[in-house]
Structure 1
Amino acid sequence: MIFNSCTLEEDSRAKVELKVGRFEQDFFKLSPENVFDSLPKLKKIYAPFFTNTDDEFWRNILKDSVHLRLYAHVRDSFKYINKEIEQIVPVLERYKYHFNPPFEKFYLFTYVSRLDYDYPVIFSDSLLFIALDLYLGEEHPAYGNQPRYLAREHDRKFIPIDVAYAISESLIIEQKQTSETLLSHMIREGIKLYITRKLLPEEKEYNIFKYTKEQLDFCEENERNIWLYFVNNKLLFDVNYMTKKNFIDPAPFTKLGTEFDNQIPGRLGRWIGYKIVSQYMRKNKNISLKDLIKSTDYHSIFYQANYKP
């Protein structure tokens, strides 16, 4: 496998074994009439899918027209996933190297989620689940009801990025405090993105943020002005839910009240959080990724980073 050049640390990997199961291919071979006789064998191979479900649930899926139509699209688009596997294995190897989880073997399962947009990739312990019906391409009619800025994320090129991000999410302890500041939220998201970047050092940076190249270029060229907007409007320590939503959640653009708003991508707070975390790690080269995920005093990270673009 050929990668772009990267540093010794970024290219350091620990070997892992990845077992792949195409659940959707094996499941949709079954017929609704004989499903009760066929499921026991499938349950032995794909046990995680059958937790808290009964056999009737699975027969109904085999009769569901939406599921069947989505499976047909997945079957046509993802007959093979060799390229995706080749991209995912190094992510797991870097995860193993940096965080030393107690697993030598990982399991990848693909499936059809019936467009469960909230969970394109799920990672838990040694198990990785990828909903292939969420990667059929941004122009696919399945996403016709979604706005374009969200539909563009349904490209298969985002699969390894979503895998790396799901791993990073699994490492971070979420703090469900209503009084949490925007700054804390930004830095926590920045840590996830920083880990994602370390697990995929060869990936184009704008893809990590789900931006276009032009969007990231705009942010980089206007970094100081963007930062001053947060500072001058006293947003960093704002605890209002809508403030956090406006700067963290997906959006076609970020409203700053300028004539350039349509050029400013959404989720701007995540990008600034990434810049702060990157600055913090550059100033603290002795801190490992394993140390970073233990850091929950996000304001301390901010002050130590001394981020001043």
Structure 2
Amino acid sequence: MRGYLLLLFTIVLFFGCNKNETCEIPEEIAEIPVDIKVDRLEQRFFKIKTVPEMQAFLQEEPLLRDKFLLRDRYPSEELMAQSLLRLATDTSIHKLVRESDATFKDMSGIEQDLENALKHVKHYYPTFHIPKVQTFVSGLSRDLLVSDSLIVMGLDFFIGEKASFRPQAPQYILERYEKKNLAPSVMLLVSNKFNKTDFVNKEMLDEMIDYGKSYYFTKQMMPCTPDSLIIWYTGQELADVEYNEGKIWAHLIEKGLLYENSQFIIRKYIGERPNVPEISARCPGRVATWVGWQIVRKYMENNPEVTLQQLMEEKNARKILELSKYKPQKK
């Protein structure tokens, strides 16, 4: 992962969720030697005119070939090259390529965001290997890949609402596919490398804390990024859940949902939905993951001896909840 009005029947209007504050990276992190230069592979790919040229391209980019383009799904590399050549010469896809070029003509902001975030990762995890960062246009077949050795950003997904073609997804999900969400989405996937989980009991609390740890990690890596971009909420949605935090928590407690193990019920609060009508028709989907984030925040605030690394290794969701002393009050 990602209602636009008021939550839980409130009539208070909020005009933002994040204060405009100057955000500076600590000097010891800023000096970590990480230099991100995004390799715009689509600019080479869509100039290819023959199968041999495509085969040469695939040989030059084995990580893209194997991890993003999924070489193992093709019976041979020649058939893969033939299939990809049809993509490279598709005039309708060329329109997406031009729109991607226009939207992402200047990649310096994204490069800087990723560079700063990955410097933070190296600060907390010195042995972390900085992956290659590439872009591609796949004809809306894949948005992101994050592995130990490679990050690929499918730019055609993130052109925005003015794109000629958009992913086949509900509107509330399409609204996440914007340029401003690209770097935070990458770092959420990076968090998976460090986020240890144990869903033996598969209770809702386990999933809440799992998501909460990922959001917390991403915020630590990107402290200057608004919370709304990390969790894929609008500013209004985030302001609403913050205002109604006590009411949301009361609903989860009163309905006995924290230790619920029915996946059908858990998905109502964790999974992708435009809203959570069980709480309110205006309550944004995935609201329990946001609550999990707040629990993790309280846990780290109330237990300052716990390091980020220890948090990400902790699999006991009940322990995190208990030691967080999380208990927001209704307003």
For the superposition of Structure 1 and Structure 2, which TM-score range results when normalised by the shorter chain?
A: 0.7 to 0.9
- Residues 77-98 of structure 1: per-residue CA shift (max 9 Å, x gap): 3234222112211011111111
Matched, 1:199 2:215: no
Percent identical across equivalent pairs? 24
Match among 106, 122, 129 for residue 152 of structure 2: 129
- Aligned pairs for 1:148-167 (under 5 A) are 148-167=171-190
Provide the rounded CA distance (Å) in 2 between the counterparts of 1:101 and 1:122.
21
Confirm or deny: 8 A CA contact 2:228 2:234 kept in the other structure.
Answer: yes
Provide the rounded CA distance (Å) in 1 between the counterparts of 2:217 and 2:152.
19
Q: Which residue of 2 aligns with 1:24?
A: 42
- Residues 222-273 of structure 1: per-residue CA shift (max 9 Å, x gap): 111110000000000000112221111222111225xxx2321111011000
**Deviation, structure 1 residue 140:** 2.8
Which runs of 5 or more residues in structure 2 are unaligned? 1-20
Provide the rounded CA distance (Å) in 1 between the counterparts of 2:162 and 2:46.
25
Confirm or deny: 8 A CA contact 1:182 1:239 kept in the other structure.
Answer: yes
Secondary structure, aligned partner of 1:29: coil
- Aligned pairs for 1:1-309 (under 5 A) are 4-5=22-23, 8=26, 14-31=32-49, 34-37=50-53, 39-40=55-56, 42-51=57-66, 52=71, 54-64=77-87, 65=90, 67-103=93-129, 105-116=130-141, 120-143=143-166, 145-175=168-198, 177=200, 179-257=201-279, 261-309=280-328
Root-mean-square deviation (Å): 2.4
Provide the rounded CA distance (Å) in 2 between the counterparts of 1:50 and 1:265.
37
Confirm or deny: 8 A CA contact 2:29 2:119 kept in the other structure.
Answer: no
Which structure shows the higher helix fraction?
1
**Deviation, structure 1 residue 280:** 0.3
Q: Which residue of 1 aligns with 2:7?
A: none
**Deviation, structure 1 residue 112:** 1.7
Residue type at the aligned position of 2:38: V
Which runs of 5 or more residues in structure 1 are unaligned? none
The alpha-carbon distance between structure 1 residues 102 and 199, as it changes in their structure 2 partners (threshold 3 A), is closer
Provide the rounded CA distance (Å) in 2 between the counterparts of 1:237 and 1:94.
34
Provide the rounded CA distance (Å) in 2 between the counterparts of 1:113 and 1:175.
34
Using CA pairs below 8 Å that are at least 6 residues apart, which structure has the higher relative contact order? 2
Provide the rounded CA distance (Å) in 2 between the counterparts of 1:266 and 1:124.
28
Provide the rounded CA distance (Å) in 2 between the counterparts of 1:239 and 1:13.
46
Provide the rounded CA distance (Å) in 1 between the counterparts of 2:243 and 2:28.
26
Secondary structure, aligned partner of 2:133: strand
Secondary structure, aligned partner of 1:263: strand
Provide the rounded CA distance (Å) in 2 between the counterparts of 1:69 and 1:186.
41
**Deviation, structure 1 residue 277:** 0.2
Confirm or deny: 8 A CA contact 1:139 1:151 kept in the other structure.
Answer: no
Confirm or deny: 8 A CA contact 1:120 1:162 kept in the other structure.
Answer: no
Residue type at the aligned position of 1:223: E
The alpha-carbon distance between structure 1 residues 176 and 140, as it changes in their structure 2 partners (threshold 3 A), is farther
**Deviation, structure 1 residue 18:** 2.6
Secondary structure, aligned partner of 2:232: coil
Confirm or deny: 8 A CA contact 1:120 1:130 kept in the other structure.
Answer: yes
Once structures 1 and 2 are overlaid, which stretch shifts more, 16-25 or 246-255? 16-25
Provide the rounded CA distance (Å) in 2 between the counterparts of 1:38 and 1:61.
8
The alpha-carbon distance between structure 1 residues 87 and 29, as it changes in their structure 2 partners (threshold 3 A), is same
The alpha-carbon distance between structure 1 residues 13 and 163, as it changes in their structure 2 partners (threshold 3 A), is farther
Provide the rounded CA distance (Å) in 1 between the counterparts of 2:180 and 2:207.
27
Provide the rounded CA distance (Å) in 2 between the counterparts of 1:248 and 1:120.
22
Count of aligned positions: 297
Confirm or deny: 8 A CA contact 2:275 2:285 kept in the other structure.
Answer: yes
Confirm or deny: 8 A CA contact 1:249 1:266 kept in the other structure.
Answer: yes
Secondary structure, aligned partner of 1:280: helix
Provide the rounded CA distance (Å) in 2 between the counterparts of 1:29 and 1:70.
14
TM-score by length of 1: 0.87
